[in-house]
Amino acid sequence: MADGNDLISFIASMSGEGNLRVEENLGDGFVRLRVSEAERRQAKHDIQHVEDIVVEMLRNARDAGAKSIYVATMKEEGARTLLFLDDGSGVPTEMRERIFDARVTSKLESMKMDRWGVHGRGMALFSIRQNTRSSRVVASGVNLGSSFCIVADTNTLPERADQSTWPQTAKDEQGVLACVRGPHNIARAVCEFACEELHDCDVYLGSPTEIAATLYAHALSRVDTTRLLFIDSEDRLPVVDRLACAADASDFIRIAASVGIEISERTAHRILGGSIPSLRSVASRLLREKTDSAHTPAPVDLARDRRGLKIAQDDLASFSRSMEREFSELASRYYLTLVHDPKIRVTRDRITVTFDIGKDET
């Protein structure tokens, strides 16, 4: 009977994979792994949840000098898609694949220690690719920022079941804002990063549609429109500003897809028309909710209060969007088109919703 040493040698000699994985047979069942195999095993351990991906990608954007980071997320049939766009230093074209190799880093002299540990080993993107269905650079360029798209199978890489709850925050003894309660989901990972980098960069979190609307609004405020007349391609603009070049809905769809965001023609029209508001940054949302909770008014008794009901504009806008979604099923059955956003009228004892409709002639 062959001993353990002979058995390992036999397996290694019969398998090309064995030769790739083992550098030296040490006897008695022990082997020295090749560096590539050790790295692969380490990478599998580095990323254990979808939320780990979010943290690593945010740290990468921060270390690339980003001042604005946009995170779009959606889940469909067990696949979590994460899109990260930033205005950092970007990735050269020839490095778009190489940056996913082990030990490849741009931080030779700037390895950073933060609350999540050491960053700058050149293992984050390698670890992410090892643990996901796909990880790629969608758009980038030197000093033009980046767009990364990552698709994870949540059956093999788990995530928190509750992805809708935002964390509650409080200030510690030093007056620093921190997340104190709530599931450790994607929103919490982004919020914790935003609290940690409160004065260095802004982070925006939402659906692909919300992120597209936010990118468009921010781009219009940043880009000198006269400059666009002399640009022959949006690729010459920073990734986060390219939607400013959209001349119409079809143009908007094309440019959005080029940075990783897939939207419908109707959504493009709504964004261009300003009916989908841009997002507040995560930090400003947390700070606002913290201030609002400290000054929560007493409940209004409509039977006693003759001043009438007043609803905040943000709440009215959110209610209008939900009404539009509910109307869509009826519209599809009877070939109706919503001409304008639902109009909401609030009086002392009544809320009236009006839908202006037209016939769909198509």
- ∠ CA 229-230-236, nearest 5°, is 110
Task: Please say whether the beta carbons of 34 and 21 come within 8 A.
Answer: yes
Q: How far apart are CA 28 and CA 4, in angstroms?
A: 6
Q: Which residues lie below 8 Å from residue 138, measured CB to CB, with a gap of 6+?
A: 83, 147, 148, 149, 258, 259, 260
In the numeric block, which tokens belong to residue 25?
A: 């047979």
The pLDDT score that the predictor gives to residue 349 is 75
Q: How far apart are CA 275 and CA 163, in angstroms?
A: 26
pTM given for the model: 0.72
The pLDDT score that the predictor gives to residue 110 is 59
Q: Which residues lie below 8 Å from residue 329, measured CB to CB, with a gap of 6+?
A: none
Mapped onto helix, strand or coil, the DSSP state of residue 331 is helix
Nearest to 146 by CA among 200, 92, 224: 92
Tokens 């940056």 belong to which residue? 99
The pLDDT score that the predictor gives to residue 325 is 76
Q: Residue 153 pairs with which residues in a beta bridge?
A: 79
Q: Is the dihedral of CA 311, 317, 322, 327 positive or negative?
A: positive
Phi-psi label, residue 308: left if phi above 0, alpha if psi -120 to 50, beta otherwise:
left
Q: How far apart are CA 205 and CA 119, in angstroms?
A: 23
User: Each residue's pLDDT tens digit in the chain (362 positions)?
Assistant: 445 555 554 444 444 445 677 777 777 666 676 777 766 666 666 899 999 999 999 999 999 999 999 999 999 999 999 999 999 999 999 999 998 988 887 765 556 667 777 666 678 898 999 999 999 999 999 999 999 999 999 999 999 999 999 999 888 777 788 888 899 999 999 999 999 998 889 999 999 999 999 999 999 998 887 777 778 789 999 999 999 999 999 999 999 999 999 999 999 999 999 999 999 999 999 888 666 655 555 555 544 444 567 777 767 777 877 787 787 777 777 777 777 778 888 887 788 888 888 765 54
Q: How far apart are CA 137 and CA 148, in angstroms?
A: 5
Nearest to 195 by CA among 89, 290, 296, 88: 290
